[in-house]
Amino acid sequence: MTLQAPAYTITHPSFEEPEILLQYTQASGFPDVLAGGQPRIRLGEDDLVIYMKQLNVRTRVAASQASTNELPGVDMAASMISTATYRLQCRSIYDHHDVSAGGHWGFSTVEAYRLGMRQAHFTLARDACLYGMNPANGEGLVNVSGAVAVTLPADQNGNTKVTTYDNGAMAFFLNQQILNIKTRTLQLGIGKEFTILGPQRTLGLFEYSIVQLVQYQRVGSGTNSTAGVVKDVLMMNGDRLAWVYDDSLIGQGAGGSDMVILVMPELTKPAGPRINTNEFAKISPGNPTNTTMYADMAAPKEIISPLAGGATDFLTEWRISSGWGVRPQALTLISMPYS
């Protein structure tokens, strides 16, 4: 909560560049692993726990050429799952001297504090989504109970490291994992959206490594990258892929390898054209989310109040949940040794 804007001297004549050279931080792609690409804005500002109902069914029917006196029925089981919420708070205090000092350097002190506090909230939201505020309780997508965890297998040349892995083999491996998700979630034949989230040093290689001509035949063959092959195959099946980055996943995989998260954030209710063996799923309301997190508002609330001595108190707060994998079948956690 400090502002360091010292006095400075310049030589005249001179030219002073009006734009400020800002410190940049990686813009994480973590929202893309959530259904809808953002937290679900459904919380009250004081809600402490989120509950979600589940309803499972087991069906039985008698079949015979004659009438049956003792008939089976349908068994239904209702249950509840839950996750905790957390209030995030950040505060800045400034006065008119701080505002003046920022003005001498060509920036708004109030806006700088505002954006800095928002970045603090969003960074912690990223950590909550991926790793959870309380990982021991299974919070965070990398800690989801029942999620499929795999380690990168050796390619045809015996390579197990990202830096030496065969480019075509990597594309085929990722496509197989996407196929496995669609199979587990009963989404084959339905175009879906997928997200691959991982470190720059790992996923970046797949975007700029060319798949060999003998492995992938198409117009312009021999010029497509690993990521391009994956996207092409998905497009053939009506799927779409978000390829996004987060360097906090470096070293988060098994044995200190890099973690790559592959997820289908939302599903579509499977249905037959006339006779539907998924008829029970027509019960409303149904929840299509696979991975999600919750918030009480789209962005942190800003509370500005005066303090003694002409100072201003600037408080921001936001209530969120950790990342929640309510359908772990849609989530694959891939450990990829880098080098």
- Give domain status of residue 332, yes or no: no
Cα–Cα distances in angstroms (integers) from residue 127 to residues 108, 133, 219, in the given order: 29, 8, 42
* pLDDT score of 222: 57
Distance from C-alpha of 213 to C-alpha of 207, rounded to nearest angstrom: 16
Instruction: Take residue 124 and report the two structure tokens written for it.
Output: 């912690």
- Give domain status of residue 314, yes or no: yes
Give yes or no for a contact between 101 and 91, defined as CB atoms under 8 angstroms apart. Answer: no
- Give domain status of residue 337, yes or no: no
* pLDDT score of 219: 47
- Residue numbers of the domain that contains 310: 30-55+76-270+294-324
- Identify the CA nearest to 262 among candidates 290, 287, 295, 238: 290
Instruction: Take residue 123 and report the two structure tokens written for it.
Output: 């960074």
- Give domain status of residue 329, yes or no: no
Kindly report, residue by residue over 188-202, the tens digit of the pLDDT: 999 999 999 999 999
Cα–Cα distances in angstroms (integers) from residue 226 to residues 210, 294, 323, in the given order: 6, 34, 29
Number of domains in the chain: 1
- Give domain status of residue 3, yes or no: no
- Give domain status of residue 278, yes or no: no
Give yes or no for a contact between 327 and 266, defined as CB atoms under 8 angstroms apart. Answer: no
Kindly report, residue by residue over 176-226, the tens digit of the pLDDT: 999 999 999 999 999 999 999 999 999 999 998 877 655 555 544 556 788
- Give domain status of residue 335, yes or no: no
Kindly report, residue by residue over 255-291, the tens digit of the pLDDT: 999 999 999 999 998 887 788 899 899 899 999 999 9
- Give domain status of residue 112, yes or no: yes
